[in-house]
């Protein structure tokens, strides 16, 4: 499906070009042509061999980017003589692929000389049962290792085709796409593409009928982040403390505190919006799912603990032997660059989110050096032109009837620097400086780093918060209690200057801690970390749960071993890293948490025009899920400005380890639509305020699948139906 054609027809004045005929465009029947001759054809009207399909298709596409893809267009203007065209995705002119080989509408103008404009083409192709044209893809999926691929006929998720239309389309495809022995299927890309009453007819045609959730649940290999890596293959390692950046690690499922590694393979399906996968995309390390990974796996076992070269492609992966010298060379190539100093800004004041960004200007998106990424973006979200407050007429919060953004205030990064500079904390400052020097020297082993980090963090818990600063914080907490009556708990969230910056999001590296306003500090003001069971996972708690202990606990988390490793890998100078704080009421102050979610304003691991929603029931996080659980993955696909959003569930949630997957959505369609519309509003506002975010008209930024960056937003749904927008950050991956 041409997402760009949709965008062009909605946002640009497109008129049909005069019909241009060339021998390369002629709709010829497939013959025994050589591959180089097939490359000269824009399209063919029949596919009789896998060789032809492979020669005219590309790797990736659709949901999951696993397999090959080829677009087709069926001209149904004459109902009695429907004509199929299989479009050569590898067709080039002067070394470039023209739009008419990429997009259905441009192809129809070129090949058929159609008179329709872009909007009319969309209306008579995707948004009606009475179709002039059928536009879709034939996508391959590898469901069993070594078996022939499944060839899936798929339509755009917003296509409203009825069951009779599906049968008519497949009859045309069957006559023209007939690879001997091919396993064929119709795969519904949207909930409205029902095949409930036509199962027998589909089977009679030789087609299986499946949903995209069934397909992705059966695929054995998924390339979550394609790429190459050189490292030592570690299959199900027992001691994660020894995992190094030169290791390619095979896990049953990803641990929550994964160190920097060269590449990752998991047996269990990963959430595409998990911190680990998003980090893989931003730092360019390959990441894949291999459902039958095992110690005796034919492709893995021969290379256990040996240096290898791993290639994660869109249709398959490959492992070959390499040498220790090459592994070390490749790591040096990635890390042999100067340390990047982070700006140091002397911001002496606590600032409320509502005061941080009073006017929507570029300054609203450039305050991370003062307050850290999370706090700065809460200030952005609180702006009247973004989400605002319920008492601000015309704001998103006023429209919805409650505050979407938590009340609260930011503690600037300078407070952290003042904390270290306090004479009473001189020994801690010296220990931090020593750790930085050793880390930048590059000789620390993972376990040695952990030991030094633990020593430093232990000193943080016993250090002294500057008395004047602590008094200021407590005064603002008292004010927060008046703004949020009944609040008994707070959240002190990490907001480092070494996160949410270009090419480094820092997600999941630092800790946040809960505060009970009734808690009392120990006489010596010392604090401690305790591990408590929170369901199937161990959760760190600061004790006592006071404001000053939470401050010290979050400050100490700047020196979590994973945070140190990630900064070193990105070459961020540890000496200039600092921690700001975001203070908010506990999210369940108004009501218990019903669901957690993440929305990314692009289709992750897909070429559809969509937002990606990950959802999980109750308080289980999507970003750092409990082991053995899987969140719901949903694509919110867009058919245009005036079209309703379609929600395609590509995987249902498994809320409990070892438990069954749900059979319905975690959130209702109305709730998902509400989240999607709010995310659109945030992205449009961010686009207008952030220089260089997008090169086009910001009103239509959500309609561009090729934008260079997107937003990653976390939210909670409370049992009373209210949404809490926790945070927003830029995401630079695809």
Q: What is the average pLDDT across 50-66?
A: 85
Cβ atoms of 690 and 612 within 8 Å: the answer is no
Is pLDDT above 50 for 593? yes
Tens digit of each residue's pLDDT (9 = 90 or more) over 227-244: 999 999 999 998 777 888
pLDDT tens, position by position, 132-158: 999 999 999 988 777 889 999 999 988
CA distance 73 to 134: 6
pLDDT band at 605 (very low <50, low <70, confident <90, very high): confident
pLDDT at 625 over 90: no
Task: Determine how β-strand 723-731 pairs with β-strand 710-718.
Answer: antiparallel
Report the C-alpha gap between 384 and 720 in whole angstroms.
24
Phi, psi of 343 (to 5 degrees): -60, 140
Per-residue pLDDT for 10 more than 50? no
Q: Determine if the peptide bond prior to 544 is cis (ω within 30°).
A: yes
Residue 476 pLDDT exceeds 70: yes
> Over the stretch 652-666, which tens digit does the pLDDT of each residue have?
898 988 889 899 999
Q: What is the arithmetic mean of pLDDT over 424-449?
A: 93
**Which residue would you say has higher pLDDT here, 439 or 734?**
439
Could you tell me the residue ranges of all domains in the chain? Answer: 3-217, 221-335, 414-585, 593-731
pLDDT score for 17: 30
Nearest of 145, 172, 6, 130 to residue 702 by alpha carbon: 6
Residue 405 pLDDT level (bands cut at 50, 70, 90): very high
Place of tokens 């755009």: 156
247-251 β-sheet, strand order: 221-225, 287-290, 263-266, 247-251, 227-235, 307-312, 317-321
Phi, psi of 120 (to 5 degrees): -65, -40
For all residues of the chain together, what is the average pLDDT? 89
- Ordered DSSP codes for 358-416: SS-SGGGG--HHHH-HHHHHHHHHHSTTTT--TTSTTSHHHHHTS-SS---EEE-HHHH
Return the CATH number of the domain spanning residue range 221-335: 3.50.30.10
Q: What digits encode the pLDDT tens for the residues 661-718?
A: 899 999 999 999 999 999 999 999 999 999 999 999 999 999 998 898 999 999 999 9
Q: Is residue 4 very low, low, confident or very high in pLDDT (cuts 50, 70, 90)? A: very low
Which pLDDT does position 5 carry in this prediction? 40
Question: What's the pLDDT score for residue 207?
Answer: 97
The pLDDT score that the predictor gives to residue 628 is 80
- Residue 33 binned pLDDT confidence (cut-offs 50, 70, 90): low
CB contact at 8 A, 436 and 578: no
Q: Which CATH class is domain 414-585?
A: alpha beta
pLDDT of residue 34: 57
Task: Name the pTM for this structure.
Answer: 0.84
Residue 421 backbone dihedrals phi, psi, to 5 degrees: -80, -10
**Entry field: residues in the chain:** 734
Q: What is the DSSP letter of 112?
A: I
Q: What is the DSSP letter of 177?
A: B
> What pLDDT score was predicted for residue 162?
93
Beta-ladder partners of 409? 352, 583
Band the pLDDT of 8: cuts 50, 70, 90.
very low
């Amino acid at each position: 499906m041409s997402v760009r054609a949709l965008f062009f027809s909605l946002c640009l004045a497109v008129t049909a070009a005069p019909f241009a005929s060339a021998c390369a465009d002629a709709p010829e029947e497939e013959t025994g042509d050589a591959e180089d001759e097939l490359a000269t054809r824009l399209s063919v009207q029949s596919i009789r061999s896998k060789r032809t399909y492979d020669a005219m298709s590309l790797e990736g596409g659709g949901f999951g980017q696993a397999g090959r893809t080829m677009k087709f267009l069926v001209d149904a203007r004459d109902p009695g003589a429907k004509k199929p065209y299989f479009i050569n995705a590898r067709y080039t002119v002067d070394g470039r692929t023209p739009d008419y080989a990429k997009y259905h509408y441009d192809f129809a103008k070129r090949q058929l000389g159609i008179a329709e404009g872009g909007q009319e083409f969309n209306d008579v192709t995707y948004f009606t049962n009475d179709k002039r044209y059928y536009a879709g893809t034939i996508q391959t999926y590898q469901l069993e290792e070594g078996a022939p691929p499944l060839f899936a006929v798929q339509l755009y998720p917003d296509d409203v085709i009825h069951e009779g239309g599906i049968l008519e389309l497949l009859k045309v495809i069957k006559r023209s796409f007939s690879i001997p022995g091919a396993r064929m299927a119709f795969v519904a890309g949207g909930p409205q593409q029902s095949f409930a009453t036509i199962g027998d007819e589909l089977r009679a045609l030789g087609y299986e009928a499946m949903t995209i959730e069934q397909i992705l649940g059966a695929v054995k290999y998924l390339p979550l982040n394609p790429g190459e890596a050189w490292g030592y293959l570690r299959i199900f390692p027992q001691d994660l403390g020894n995992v190094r950046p030169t290791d390619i690690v095979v896990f049953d499922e990803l641990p929550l505190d994964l160190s920097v590694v060269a590449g990752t393979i998991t047996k269990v399906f990963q959430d595409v919006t998990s911190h680990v996968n998003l980090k893989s995309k931003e730092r360019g390390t390959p990441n894949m799912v291999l459902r039958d990974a095992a110690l005796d796996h034919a492709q893995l076992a021969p290379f256990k603990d040996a240096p290898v070269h791993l290639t994660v492609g869109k249709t398959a992966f490959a492992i070959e032997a390499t040498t220790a010298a090459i592994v070390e060379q490749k790591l040096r190539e990635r890390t042999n660059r100067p340390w990047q100093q982070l700006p140091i800004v002397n911001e002496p004041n606590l600032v409320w989110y509502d005061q941080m960004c009073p006017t929507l200007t570029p300054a609203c998106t450039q305050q991370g050096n003062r307050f850290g990424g999370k706090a700065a973006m809460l200030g952005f979200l609180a702006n009247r032109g973004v989400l605002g407050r319920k008492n601000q007429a015309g704001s998103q919060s006023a429209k919805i009837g409650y505050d979407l953004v938590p009340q609260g205030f930011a503690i600037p990064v300078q407070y952290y620097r003042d904390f270290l500079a306090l004479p009473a904390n001189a020994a801690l400052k010296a220990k931090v400086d020593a750790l930085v020097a050793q880390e930048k020297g590059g000789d620390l082993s993972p376990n040695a780093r952990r030991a030094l980090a633990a020593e430093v963090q232990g000193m943080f818990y016993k250090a002294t918060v500057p008395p004047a600063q602590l008094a200021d914080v407590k005064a603002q907490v008292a004010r927060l209690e008046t703004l949020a009556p009944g609040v008994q708990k707070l959240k002190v969230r990490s907001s480092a200057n070494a996160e949410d910056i270009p090419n480094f999001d820092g997600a999941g590296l630092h800790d946040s801690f809960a505060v009970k306003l009734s808690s009392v500090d120990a006489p010596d003001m010392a604090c401690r970390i305790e591990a408590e069971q929170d369901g199937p996972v161990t959760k760190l708690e600061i004790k006592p749960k006071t404001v000053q202990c939470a401050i010290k606990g979050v400050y100490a988390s700047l020196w979590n071993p994973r945070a140190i490793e990630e900064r070193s890998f990105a070459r961020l100078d540890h000496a200039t890293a600092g921690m700001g704080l975001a203070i908010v009421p506990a999210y369940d102050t108004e009501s218990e948490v019903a669901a957690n979610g993440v929305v990314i304003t692009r289709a992750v691991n897909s070429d559809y025009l969509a937002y990606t929603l990950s959802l999980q029931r109750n308080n289980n996080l999507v970003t750092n899920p409990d082991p053995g659980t899987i969140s719901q993955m949903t694509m919110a696909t867009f058919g245009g400005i005036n079209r309703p959003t379609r929600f395609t569930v590509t995987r249902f949630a498994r809320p409990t380890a070892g438990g069954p997957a749900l059979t319905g959505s975690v959130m209702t369609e109305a709730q998902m639509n509400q989240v999607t519309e709010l995310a659109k509003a945030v992205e449009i506002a961010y686009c207008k305020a952030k220089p260089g975010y997008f090169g086009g008209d910001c009103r239509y930024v959500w309609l561009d699948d090729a934008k260079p960056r997107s937003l990653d937003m976390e939210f909670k749904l409370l049992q009373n139906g209210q949404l809490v927008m926790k945070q927003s950050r830029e995401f630079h991956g695809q």
